[in-house]
Structure 1
């Protein structure tokens, strides 16, 4: 495939971040990012501004299209010595804007493609563009803060946050929903839910037992994905951008950008960030709920899969001394056992040894036939 041109159109970057770019457009952006480290750095800045503006917009709806055009006209005016630029103004809140201001193309016969940065970019134009976007975000933030200050006292809702380190924790939310938060996780939620919805933010892993309320859907925001339910029990794993959802009872909708799947009892799906897609997994792994149930079940499972499960469940560092151990098969059940006990029983069952290197545990022994 031919390499894309070095300049990159701002509109295409906006479509890519919004999840609206087609396969060809997405591939063009990815190839462009791979051409030069400078491009990736500028894109990261662009993405952070995008996300910040999106968060502000949810609190204080502003006509960001008009605001951006004001900023852009100031940039143009400043670049002409004879021109006199006026301070940008932001119009009063109107209809809710899109998540991030789109950049309109001047009415000409040809689309103008501007370099974001790096080779071929004009330094002063890059600096003015960055300054304009920062000024826009600050303006929106100020408007959001003013709106917050002017809210009636009853509308100001405090946000609570629960964080775990080496121990899991159980918490009951304001609506009665029960949450089991796994190790190394964080859950943020309002002190009181809104009258028409219930929304929380998760980083890490948690098991939810949602109190039914058809009038107020329950939503979990996790690493750019959303899980929505009315009343059910399920697990969400979101330690990084590759998010996994497993349903124990009921039904949920799992979405990421423009993609969505519906899951029912004993179904699992995973979002693959690298491929930007959601896939349903062939079967439910009951060990996904082990941090909630305390039970680990292995039925003729390969030792390589057992090790992966132990690393996930215990946030551990367990490894195999040689590839020949991957195909050893294990059938055993554990109930609320420590990692040391699980390692020792596994090694004894398979005729292996456990060697320690600090916090790392390594299975050693002869390999198993395939």
Structure 2
């Protein structure tokens, strides 16, 4: 016999004694047991097969679902001159030449309004306490609720500089929380590899004049005013009355000659232009 069960059955039949063992009943029971094992194995294999097919189909469904959920990126650019764009939440961004901004339109506004910046950009963010606005560059991240500020990774090599004109921003290392808070007129710099931004004085009184279109001076030393105007218009301005203070507001469109004439009239001084 091939199996151990069949050998056991032959042993029982050889030692059978009348009145103590029913041979036919034993054979029937043995056959039913063997059929039961066969049926059990068949059902088990069927269940495993169905489960494998279901797992395969579920995997395909998950893959296709994930593929369908990949959001395309929208890219805004500025080539040779500044460009101003309106974002889906009606916030406005002005890009400095050779700068770009990217965001995923389908995800923008879900819990957070998130954009990626390369270069320099000025933001005027619509307030929305339920949905913070986040700007991320190579080194730093800025989070705001509603404010106006400049995000600059172009002017200084290996640094992110943030300058605030309205409201309040939280400035931190990229992909981290915490950091420092900045208020109107404040600026901070984050160097590549640093663990925390450091507060700094802006190089000029109006770092974001290129985007706002205005120069605002409040009791500002004339020397600082002339230094900013010289850098902005690409000229060299000087005056012997460097101790005088200026409080005024000018549009950048007025041009350097128009602004210089107004300053001379206001302060009763003479400004040299080279």
Structure 1-normalised TM-score?
A: 0.44
Q: 1:350 to 1:235 in 2, by over 3 A?
A: same
Q: Which structure 2 segments of 5+ residues have no match? A: 1-61
Residues 117-156 of structure 1: matches in 2 within 5 Å? Answer: 151-153=66-68, 155-156=69-70
Q: Report the RMSD for the aligned CA atoms in angstroms.
A: 3.9
Closer/same/farther in 2, CA of residues 190 and 269 from structure 1, 3 Å limit: same
Between the aligned partners of 1:254 and 1:156, the Cα distance in structure 2 is: 29
CA contact (8 A) 1:330 1:346 kept: no
Equivalent residues of 1:269, 1:278 under 8 A apart: no
> Between Structure 1 and Structure 2, how many residues are aligned?
201
Native 8 Å contact 1:330 1:350 kept in 2: no
For 1:209 and 1:318, how far apart are their aligned partners in 2?
A: 30
State how 1:9-158 maps to structure 2 within 5 Å. Answer: 151-153=66-68, 155-158=69-72
2:170 is the alignment partner of 1:250? no
2:147 is aligned with 1:232: yes
Q: Which residue of 2 aligns with 1:192?
A: 106
Query: Residue by residue, what CA displacement relative to the aligned partner does 1:21-57 show, whole Å, maximum 9, x if unpaired?
Result: xxxxxxxxxxxxxxxxxxxxxxxxxxxxxxxxxxxxx
Can you give the 5+ residue segments of structure 1 that lack an aligned partner in the other structure?
1-146, 355-370
Aligned partners of 2:80, 2:243: CA distance in 1, in Å?
A: 30
Q: For residue 279 of structure 1, what is the aligned residue in structure 2?
A: 198
**2:215: which partner in 1?**
296
2:131 partner SS: coil
Is 2:257 the counterpart of 1:337? no
| Contact preservation (8 Å) 1:268, 1:284 | no
Show the counterpart of 2:187.
269
* Structure 1 residues 229-258: Cα deviation after superposition (integer angstroms, max 9, x where no partner): 122222222214332223333322100256
In structure 2, the CA distance between the partners of 1:300 and 1:152, relative to structure 1 (3 Å rule), is closer
Q: Which has the larger radius of gyration?
A: 2
1:131 aligns with none
1:167 counterpart residue number? 81
TM-superposed deviation, 1:300: 4.3
Tell me how far apart the structure 2 counterparts of residues 148 and 343 of structure 1 sit (CA, whole Å): 62
- Give the structure 1 partner of residue 18 of structure 2: none
